[in-house]
Structure 1
Amino acid sequence: MNQIALNINGKPVSGSVEPRTHLADFLREGRDLTGTHLGCEHGVCGACTILVDGTPVRSCITYAVACDGAEIVTIEGLDDDEITRELREAFKREHALQCGYCTPGMLVSARDLVVRSVDSDEHDIRVAMSGNLCRCTGYVGIIKAIRSVIAARRTRDIAAISGGGRSIVGPAGSGHASAEPNNASVRRAAPVLAPQPAASAKSRLSMDPGWIPQASFDQKFVVSYPRQQVWEMFGRVRDVAACLPGASLTGEPTPEHVEGQIRVKVGPIAAEFRGQAEIERDESSHSGKITGAGDAVRSNSATRGVISYRLLPAGDGQSTEVALTIGYTLTGMLAQFGRPGIVQDVAARLTAAFAKNLEARLGGKAATDLSSRDGGLDAGSLLFSAVAGRLKELFGRLFVSRS
């Protein structure tokens, strides 16, 4: 057990906690501050958001011992806060809540946004609030409420505070947490990090050799061209990238290395993954492997993946079967859409689109697109069609069983 001392909602609090206890449990079970709601417990949904040293924090993935000495403010501590009071009124006025489960975390994040936003740009608000998920409202009322409070305060000449007044770089609470075990009284200042040189445009991908995909599955498709022609096409990185909806290259590719980005949109969440991949090819077996990694900074998501493929002759050698094995790990906000069944359904539709574009490209035609209006891959439409397909299959089984 560790002894910690915090300031919670303006009151000094101390207690013994196990090292594994997260801050949300300490607040809810130890202090009866149940306004902090637990949803996903993976840091994705934002329901548990509170303020630690003035910074919004996911309390479900923050260890209580890491916040020793920190200032904690929960939704209960914002009862008399001017900005939160204005947000509560705006949420009521704009019908920005229904069941209310996400509302405490939503208000904490919204308050931070009101403090630091120069203007009430809708796009910026949607991006900033995309880490707080709501299953009821559709977000329209939430965005209107936040916009109205920002606009009203700026009209009253209440200026935005750059960065929300934060000056310490590092995890929230890092300026106060004990640097020594057993709560030694000596505390170490947060280290000043030396500036790092920018990564080279040709810097190579570094992945943990022991990395194991979160999930993997197989896909197959056939194109009506001989294997050698398809193999040569797979060696032209730009042509292959042009067949993948939402993808584009950000640097000059080589046969072994490529850097690029893919824009993905799922409902209100938009992400732009930027990353790189290493390419391996074995002409003797007409097989290859692509190992990649990418991060979407604005949505705090990351992905790691590997695609192994093999080209097999089909149709008396006039066609080619492409056999794929796909392994991936998805973390962050978009991990909620990373369940294997959903990903496999969406990947099947994306693979079909890639196969169609590949065949068109081999025939000298332009590839079709699955992009949304803002130029990114509209994964939401793929997700919708996947769910619709499952429902159709379910109803089909029900009607067959009753007949």
Structure 2
Amino acid sequence: MTTINLTVNGKQLSATAEPRTHLADYLRDCHNLTGTHIGCEHGVCGACTLLVDGVPTRSCITFAVTCEHAHVTTIEGLDDDEIATELRAAFKREHALQCGYCTPGMMVSARDVVLRMESPSEHDIRVAMSGNLCRCTGYVGIVRAVQSVIEARRKRGAGAIPDGNRKLLGPAGSGHSSAVAANGAKPRETSATKAAASVAAAPARADANWTPQTTFVQSFTVEHPVDQVWEFFGRIGEVATCLPGASLDGEPVDGHAEGRIKVKVGPISAEFQGVADVSRDDATRTGTISGAGKDQRSNSATRGLIGYAVKQGDRPEQTRVDVTVGFTLTGMLAQFSRSGLVQDIANRLIAAFVQNLEAKLSAGEGAARAVAAEFDAGSLFTSVIIGRIKALFASVFRRR
């Protein structure tokens, strides 16, 4: 059993349920909110539709546990809602309900149409409401009711809200959608929305309690004096251009940088947008980079901590750089984070970085800043696998 905490119809509610419990069952069985009706239990009929963070959601196919800390509005929570009040009167006037079983979900979807669509035609309303099935009315009264409310509100100057204030993609309740409360106002931020926003806006502060999933240590040398290399590492924008796929959104401010890195793994093309905080110690020639990023398309997120030390090499004109990398990768791309493959990929990525670094140092500050290409991890994985197969065959034939 899992404790699930939700804000339902403006009240904070908590109850225990099995992780497999759907949101509709959770609301009906745990909180006696039986206005949400369950029909097909396949997300087809629309009878169970309610609002999760302001977005119409099929509660029969949404796990309650995935909506932790979300704002849920059921049909009971729309009693005092302006649009819902007008729709109830219109439904009664246009004879838009008979048995009433589909009505709760129909009302929620109709409210969303009134909220989003400026001046829809009858066809537009039928398409928008096609996800809600009715076995009684033939839909004529329902369409007339919705259309009459829209026309009345537009005449009063109550315009539509484009896309219902939805600015981000993502599953309802996951913190990626733009929330709209039942009264049309934006509700307070939940922990999920704050976490999503922190990737794009907040500094990537170091957390002593954070433990990376994968850690590896790597060293490389460059044929340039240590003072020159250390000074170059202080120019964050220049360093970023040496990393394939990386770019910054403007110049860093007080060691804080915002940017992105493009990664391609087979058919998956991701663009991690994130932030990083950079600190340096001139006395010891060491530095740290703490960063976090998120790819909206694959819903993958990463967090990492890089520590580096710039040291004198074996020769006066040579510099050694020791790098320690720790990171955590979640989401669709996490399947590619196995430590053995990551180490091989890191070796190739660092080799490309060193090659670009050498070119930059040799050309000096006047060198043109070439746009870094997308990091194609797919081709690197292929080379890694081919290399391992060759090594396997070599070891077999050596035994013979």
TM bucket, shorter chain: 0.5 to 0.7
Alignment counterpart, residue 193 of structure 1, candidates 176, 187, 195: 187
Output the amino acid matched with 1:385: S
Equivalent residue number for residue 301 of structure 1: 300
Equivalent residue number for residue 388 of structure 1: 386
CA distance in 2 between counterparts of 1:317 and 1:221 reads: 16
Q: Which structure 1 residue ranges, 4+ long, deviate > 2 Å from structure 2?
A: 17-24, 52-64, 157-174, 188-192, 194-209, 365-371
Equivalent residue number for residue 348 of structure 2: 349
Alignment counterpart, residue 399 of structure 1, candidates 380, 383, 397: 397
CA distance in 2 between counterparts of 1:69 and 1:333 reads: 30
**Structure 1 residues 381 and 367: alpha-carbon distance in aligned structure 2, compared to 1, 3 A threshold:** farther
Question: Sequence identity, in percent?
Answer: 45
Shift of the alpha carbon at 1:353?
0.3
**Structure 1 residues 274 and 69: alpha-carbon distance in aligned structure 2, compared to 1, 3 A threshold:** closer
For 1:317, what is the secondary structure of its paired residue?
A: coil
Deviations 1:48-88 (A, max 9, x none): xxxx9438978798599x9x999xxxxxxxxxxxxxxxxxx
Q: How high is the TM-score relative to the length of structure 1?
A: 0.54
Quick check: 1:55–1:172 contact (8 Å CA) kept in 2? no
Quick check: 2:295–2:301 contact (8 Å CA) kept in 1? yes
Shift of the alpha carbon at 1:205?
2.6
Output the amino acid matched with 1:287: T
**Structure 1 residues 360 and 171: alpha-carbon distance in aligned structure 2, compared to 1, 3 A threshold:** closer
> 1:14-163, aligned counterparts within 5 Å?
19=17, 21-22=19-20, 53-54=57-58, 62=66, 161=128
Shift of the alpha carbon at 1:395?
1.5
For 2:203, what is the secondary structure of its paired residue?
A: coil
Deviations 1:230-271 (A, max 9, x none): 101101111101101111111221351211101111111111
Deviations 1:348-395 (A, max 9, x none): 100000011001100007699997xxx521111111112222222111
Deviations 1:316-344 (A, max 9, x none): 22111111100000011111111111111
Quick check: 1:237–1:255 contact (8 Å CA) kept in 2? no
For 1:315, what is the secondary structure of its paired residue?
A: coil
> 1:302-341, aligned counterparts within 5 Å?
302-341=301-340
For 2:363, what is the secondary structure of its paired residue?
A: coil
Higher radius of gyration, 1 or 2: 2
**Structure 1 residues 273 and 160: alpha-carbon distance in aligned structure 2, compared to 1, 3 A threshold:** farther
Output the amino acid matched with 1:225: H
Structure 1's unaligned 5+ residue stretches are 5-16, 25-34, 36-51, 71-156, 175-187
**Structure 1 residues 201 and 341: alpha-carbon distance in aligned structure 2, compared to 1, 3 A threshold:** closer
Quick check: 1:289–1:309 contact (8 Å CA) kept in 2? yes
For 1:210, what is the secondary structure of its paired residue?
A: coil
CA distance in 1 between counterparts of 2:16 and 2:270 reads: 36
Shift of the alpha carbon at 1:18?
7.9
Equivalent residue number for residue 250 of structure 1: 249
Shift of the alpha carbon at 1:163?
12
Quick check: 1:235–1:255 contact (8 Å CA) kept in 2? no
For 1:363, what is the secondary structure of its paired residue?
A: helix
**Structure 1 residues 173 and 194: alpha-carbon distance in aligned structure 2, compared to 1, 3 A threshold:** closer
Deviations 1:146-181 (A, max 9, x none): xxxxxxxxxxx999759989989996589xxxxxxx
Quick check: 1:242–1:367 contact (8 Å CA) kept in 2? no
Deviations 1:214-240 (A, max 9, x none): 110111111101111110110111110
Quick check: 2:200–2:274 contact (8 Å CA) kept in 1? no
**Structure 1 residues 344 and 200: alpha-carbon distance in aligned structure 2, compared to 1, 3 A threshold:** closer
CA distance in 2 between counterparts of 1:306 and 1:316 reads: 30
